[in-house]
């Protein structure tokens, strides 16, 4: 007979005949042999009568196993009854005394050893039960912690105690007092009428044009899905019903969002296909995490807007507790204050981890699903089969009722102790062949097709199809669209859990190698990991060459899967996948490549600290492997520091930035790496050093294909803003960037549009600056609130320049609303300057300085005192308040790190120009003119007009004609002209770092 092993939930009973040595001396060897033989016969009969299997005799003890080869839903209770009967029998013999130990747990069971009294079961629960028997007093049955929990309400126990067991450690146990106690009378339960009424009310609200979310909450098997089924059946046929389900981890490699769109995703927007994992969108990947998320959410909102125009839509999501956070967040956004004829009905377990992502309001209906009331329970049992005498003892749990009734267990004492036990009992009703097929199918996942099962089972496809049909008829499976699905997730889990580790791992490996396409990265990663997870891989796959070949494939699948998960913002699963990848690596070079991929994934999730940490680890691993790190690795990391410093929580780690940039430049030059262009631009941006610009221009001229450098080109424009103040060259760079984008090159359009608006502003073209501001307003409607503040800030700056103070105030109010409604969001100098412009608009109209301005700006830029001081300078001076002028000047200093530079917003240093004129500090004005004249020579028409107006003010102060500011007003900068006429009394400057700042006279 072939050996067949399974992992089983078993209850182990050890019964020991106490004092047999002394008894032998009293009775003699022959009589003692007969006494022991009779005792073992009697004890075996007691155990067998309860459905137990005598595994072996050990000296004076007998080991009885419950749960194998046939499982019963009440195996724990059967074991306790057998132990109790054995003790009672021993008291009647007057000859032998016994003690016993009982424990429940998982064990590996060799089913082929049954009847041979060999070592049939191996597991911790076996050892614990044996040690409990040794620790028991004469006539006592000691019951272990797991069995105690399973038998709660079914037996009576004495006071529990902690026992130290040799080779096991401390365990909790209690003596059995009596078995077969009646369960407590069930409390009255609420039926399903109330739950259906709540869902109906939610649907009526949705049908009237206000989206709603109904969440059915309850433990596995309580009937959440059945409530959803019943509700959906009650709907009008015109309602469009979309159904999907979530599974834990990356078992299937399929996002639950795929179930809500056409199967191939060909006719849906790229954002939907990207978020559902059908295809990656480079345009989305170029955006920040928050902007990508907003665009995806906007696309789904538009998708459902179209679907709900003609009829109401119901989306059903099974097991939302297993969903990625991004899916839960999307469901929240679609149903929160949303004018869609949409109802989402989701089932979750009580421990639903995504609950904090669901914002509470009247559109949410949380429905606790209780056990069935007695009448409903009896009706369910009647529909399932004839054994209704079990219903009262099932305590209204629908899964227990169905499994017991379908299993035809009519014993009055039969009561499921766990869902696994109930399902195990049903599984053992199958023929070994069908049960083995079901367990093999469970390796594939909760849903599978006949071809895959045929492949793994190595059985004829026709035979497999017939067997799966039988399993559907018996309701172990359901047939869905040509595929098969386990009737309940726990049926799958129990079937899968029975497979021995070696069998399970080999089946996963076979499916990864032969059953999946090469581009099914997430599914491949899942199955390869289950096939090769350490430390078992070394003994399961003894052939080193075979194991190594699989490991290489598995590592590649994990890296690809981690990237895909990062692309769609599934951060938790991404991290888990990359952690698995690191465990599969062997060489420093492999570790470097994984760390590099992790860094990219974190970057796309706007986590700068984590991205840089992993990229530094990658660089260290490359060095350990005696290999030069790729320049692109440095460039990717340094892009964050140079241009996305808002991604970081801690700027302290920026100290080695220049060292890394110079190291990358040296490697790139030595290897003629085209990524040299990127790191040179980064160096120029971080250091404000224009000396590398000739080399940058040379590299640009030599590029055979500039398409990958669209983002680099608009970043080059940023360098020209600050390092050279040459707006003509900045305009050329940013124009080339947009030309590449129009030809399909991916780049971050929202950021590029903002910088182009700034370029037009300083070149004196307010019309084009305003056009880009309008474009940015349109783009930002589907982007993050942070990016939205960029849009309203550049628009408000145009209003500010024109003197359209009502427009400035409008966007100032919107900024305050965003700050109120998004307390956890981060902000930047754009928002700080908008807050200052809003205050200026008040002051121009004769209103006082907003009382909360300082607090507001402190909140916006809490860790940037220089930016804070520079942004606040004009309104504080206008209000006669002290200013931190030296701190503000530091925000414009070339040596100040880019993440603290106000000049990234105020390129012309207009703030200082205005303050100097307002205070009539004419020596300072003359110094300002030198800078403005230099900028004017390189395309800064606004700087030229500003300088002309300042000269008029200077001349008027020295007795010349009244200023006209024709240059400013001719370009449309009427508001700047108005501010330049504003005069304030001289006020003291606030001390900075303990030193009073001098006032220029």
- Residue ranges of E strands in 311-456: 313-318, 342-348, 364-368, 447-448
Which pLDDT does position 386 carry in this prediction?
Answer: 57
pLDDT-based confidence at 637, cuts 50/70/90?
confident
Nearest to 565 by CA among 505, 617, 523, 618: 523
pLDDT the model gives residue 247: 78
Can you tell me the mean pLDDT for 495-514? 92
Instruction: Report percent pLDDT > 90 for the chain.
Output: 48
Mean pLDDT of the 756-770 span: 96
Burial (CB count within 10 angstroms: exposed 0-12, middle 13-18, buried 19+), residue 409: buried
What is the band of 996 on the pLDDT scale with cuts at 50, 70, 90? very low
Give per-residue pLDDT as tens, 482-493: 899 987 777 888
3-state secondary structure of 820: helix
- Look at 288 and 241; give whichever has higher pLDDT: 241
**pLDDT, average across residues 376-381:** 74
Q: What is the mean pLDDT of residues 88-106?
A: 87
CB atoms within 10 A of CB 616: 18
Burial of 651 per CB tally in 10 Å (0-12, 13-18, 19+): middle
Lookup result for tokens 């080339």: 736
Average of per-residue pLDDT values in the chain: 86
The four Cα atoms 216, 220, 221, 226 give a dihedral, to 10 degrees, of 20
CB atoms within 10 A of CB 457: 18
Three-class SS state of 107: strand
Question: For the segment 931-978, what is each residue's pLDDT rounded down to a tens digit?
Answer: 999 999 999 999 999 999 999 999 999 999 999 999 999 999 999 999
Q: What is the pLDDT of residue 655?
A: 66
Query: Given a cut of 90, is residue 410 above it in pLDDT?
Result: no
Q: Which residue has the higher pLDDT, 317 or 224?
A: 317
- The arithmetic mean of pLDDT across residues 180-200, rounded, is 62
Q: Is 189 left (phi over 0), alpha (psi -120 to 50) or beta?
A: beta
CB 764 within 8 A of CB 941: yes
Q: Give the dihedral of Cα atoms 360, 288, 291, 605; nearest 10 deg.
A: -30
pLDDT-derived band of residue 184, with 50, 70 and 90 as boundaries? very low
Q: Is the pLDDT of residue 188 over 70?
A: no
Percent of the chain with pLDDT over 70: 88
DSSP of 264-304 = T-TTS-HHHHHHTTSS--HHHHTS-HHHHHHHHHHHHHHHH
Position 56 scores a pLDDT of: 80
Check pLDDT > 80 for residue 506.
Answer: yes
- pLDDT computed for residue 964 by the predictor: 96
d(CA 669, CA 439): 58
pLDDT of residue 118: 60
- pLDDT tens, 233-259? 999 999 999 999 887 764 556 788 988
Question: Do residues 624 and 631 lie in contact, with contact meaning Cβ atoms separated by under 8 Å?
Answer: no
Q: pLDDT confidence of 55, banded at 50, 70, 90?
A: confident
* pLDDT of the residue at 936: 93
Of the listed ranges 435-449, 654-668, 829-843, the one predicted with least confidence: 654-668
Tell me the sheet residues that pair with 61.
Answer: 16, 58
Q: What is the pLDDT of residue 991?
A: 45
Is the distance from CB of 718 to CB of 755 less than 8 angstroms?
Answer: yes
CA 404/CA 182 separation, integer angstroms: 18
How much is the average pLDDT of 293-304?
A: 92
Average pLDDT rounded to a whole number, residues 111-133: 79
Question: What pLDDT is stored for residue 416 in this prediction?
Answer: 42
pLDDT above 70 (res 106)? yes
What gap in Å lies between CA 342 and CA 340, rounded to an integer? 5
Judge whether residue 453 has pLDDT over 90: yes
pLDDT at 218 over 90: no
């Amino acid at each position: 007979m072939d050996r067949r092993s399974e992992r089983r939930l078993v209850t182990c009973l050890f019964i020991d005949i106490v004092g047999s040595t002394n008894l032998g001396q009293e009775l003699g060897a022959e009589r003692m042999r007969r006494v022991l033989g009779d005792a073992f016969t009697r004890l075996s009969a007691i155990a067998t009568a309860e459905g137990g299997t005598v595994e072996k005799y050990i000296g004076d003890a007998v080991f009885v196993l419950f749960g194998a080869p046939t499982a019963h839903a009440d195996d724990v209770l059967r074991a306790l009854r057998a132990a109790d009967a054995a003790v009672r029998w021993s008291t009647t013999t007057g000859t032998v005394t016994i003690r016993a130990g009982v424990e429940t747990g998982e064990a590996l069971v060799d089913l082929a050893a049954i009847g041979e009294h060999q070592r049939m079961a191996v597991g911790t629960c076996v050892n614990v039960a044996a040690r409990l028997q040794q620790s028991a007093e004469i006539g006592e049955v000691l019951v272990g912690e797991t069995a105690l929990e399973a038998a709660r309400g079914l037996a009576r126990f004495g006071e529990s105690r902690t026992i130290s067991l040799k080779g096991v450690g401390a365990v909790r146990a209690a003596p059995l007092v009596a078995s077969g106690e009646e369960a407590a009378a069930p409390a009255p339960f609420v039926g399903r009428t109330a739950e259906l009424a709540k869902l109906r009310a939610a649907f009526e609200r949705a049908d009237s044009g206000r989206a709603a979310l109904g969440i059915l909450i309850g433990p596995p098997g309580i009937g959440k899905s059945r409530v959803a089924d019943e509700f959906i059946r009650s709907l009008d046929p015109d309602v469009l019903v979309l159904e999907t389900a979530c599974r834990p981890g990356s078992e299937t490699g399929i996002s639950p969002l795929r179930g809500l769109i056409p199967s191939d995703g060909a006719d849906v927007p790229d954002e939907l296909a990207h978020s559902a994992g059908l295809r990656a969108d480079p345009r989305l990947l170029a955006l920040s995490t928050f902007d990508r998320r907003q665009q995806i959410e906007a696309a789904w909102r538009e998708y459902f807007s179209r679907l709900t125009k003609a009829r109401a839509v119901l989306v059903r999501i099974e097991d939302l507790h297993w969903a990625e956070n991004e899916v839960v967040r999307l469901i929240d956004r679609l149903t929160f204050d949303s004018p869609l004829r949409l109802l989402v009905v989701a089932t979750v377990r009580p421990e639903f981890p995504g609950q904090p992502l669901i914002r509470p309001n009247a559109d949410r209906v949380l429905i606790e699903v209780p056990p069935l009331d007695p009448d409903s329970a009896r009706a369910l049992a009647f529909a399932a089969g004839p054994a209704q005498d079990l219903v009262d003892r099932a305590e209204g749990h629908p899964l227990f009722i169905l499994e017991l009734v379908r299993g035809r267990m009519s014993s009055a004492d039969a009561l499921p102790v766990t869902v696994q036990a109930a399902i195990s009992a049903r599984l053992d009703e199958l023929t070994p062949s069908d049960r083995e097929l079901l367990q093999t199918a469970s390796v594939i996942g909760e849903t599978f097709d006949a071809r895959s099962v045929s492949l793994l089972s190595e059985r004829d496809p026709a035979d497999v199809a017939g067997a799966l049909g039988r399993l559907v008829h018996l309701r172990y499976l359901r047939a869905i669209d040509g595929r098969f699905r386990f009737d309940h997730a726990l049926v799958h889990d129990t079937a899968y859990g029975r497979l021995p580790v070696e069998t399970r791992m080999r089946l996963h490996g076979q499916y990864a190698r032969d059953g999946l396409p090469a581009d099914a990265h997430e599914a491949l990663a899942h199955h390869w990991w289950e096939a090769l997870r350490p430390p078992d891989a070394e003994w399961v796959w003894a052939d080193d060459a075979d194991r190594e070949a699989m490991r290489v494939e598995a590592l590649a699948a994990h890296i690809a899967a981690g990237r895909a998960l990062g692309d769609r913002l599934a951060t938790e699963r991404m991290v888990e996948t990359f952690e698995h990848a690191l465990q599969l690596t062997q060489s420093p070079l492999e570790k470097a490549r994984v760390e590099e991929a992790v860094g990219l994934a974190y970057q796309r999730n706007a986590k700068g600290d984590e991205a840089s940490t992993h990229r530094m680890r990658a660089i260290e691993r490359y060095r350990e492997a005696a290999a030069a790190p790729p320049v692109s690795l440095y460039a990717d990391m340094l892009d964050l520091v140079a241009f996305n410093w808002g991604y970081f929580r801690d700027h302290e780690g920026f100290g080695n930035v220049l060292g890394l940039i110079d190291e990358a430049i040296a490697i790139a030059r030595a290897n003629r790496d085209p990524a040299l262009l990127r790191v040179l631009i980064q160096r120029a941006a971080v250091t404000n050093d224009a000396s590398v610009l000739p080399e940058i221009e040379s590299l640009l001229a030599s590029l055979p294909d500039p398409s990958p450098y669209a983002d680099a080109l608009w970043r080059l424009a940023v360098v020209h803003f600050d390092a050279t103040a040459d707006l003509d060259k900045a305009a050329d760079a940013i124009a080339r960037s947009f030309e590449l984008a129009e030809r399909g090159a991916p780049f971050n359009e929202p950021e590029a549009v903002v910088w182009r608006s700034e370029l037009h502003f300083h070149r004196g073209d307010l019309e084009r600056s305003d056009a880009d501001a309008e474009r940015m307003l349109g783009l930002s409607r589907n982007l993050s609130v942070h990016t939205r503040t960029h849009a309203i800030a550049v628009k408000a700056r145009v209003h500010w320049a024109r003197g359209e103070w009502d427009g400035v105030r409008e966007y100032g109010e919107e900024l305050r609303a965003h700050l109120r409604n998004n307390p956890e969001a981060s902000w930047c100098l754009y928002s700080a300057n908008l807050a200052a412009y809003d205050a200026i608009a008040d002051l121009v109209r004769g209103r006082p300085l907003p009382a909360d301005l300082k607090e507001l700006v402190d909140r916006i830029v809490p860790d940037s005192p220089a930016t804070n001081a520079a942004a606040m300078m004009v309104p504080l001076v206008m209000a006669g308040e002290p200013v931190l002028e030296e701190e503000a000047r530091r925000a414009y200093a070339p040596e100040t790190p880019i993440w603290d530079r106000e000049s990234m917003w105020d390129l012309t240093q207009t703030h200082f120009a205005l303050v100097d004129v307002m205070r009539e500090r004419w020596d300072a004005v003359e110094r300002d003119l030198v800078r403005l004249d230099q900028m004017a020579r390189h395309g800064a028409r606004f700087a030229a007009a500003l300088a002309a107006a300042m000269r008029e003010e200077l001349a008027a102060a020295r007795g010349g004609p009244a200023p006209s500011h024709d240059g400013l007003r001719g370009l449309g900068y009427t508001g700047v002209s108005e501010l330049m006429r504003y005069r304030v009394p001289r006020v003291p400057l606030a001390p900075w770092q303990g030193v009073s700042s001098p006032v220029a006279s």
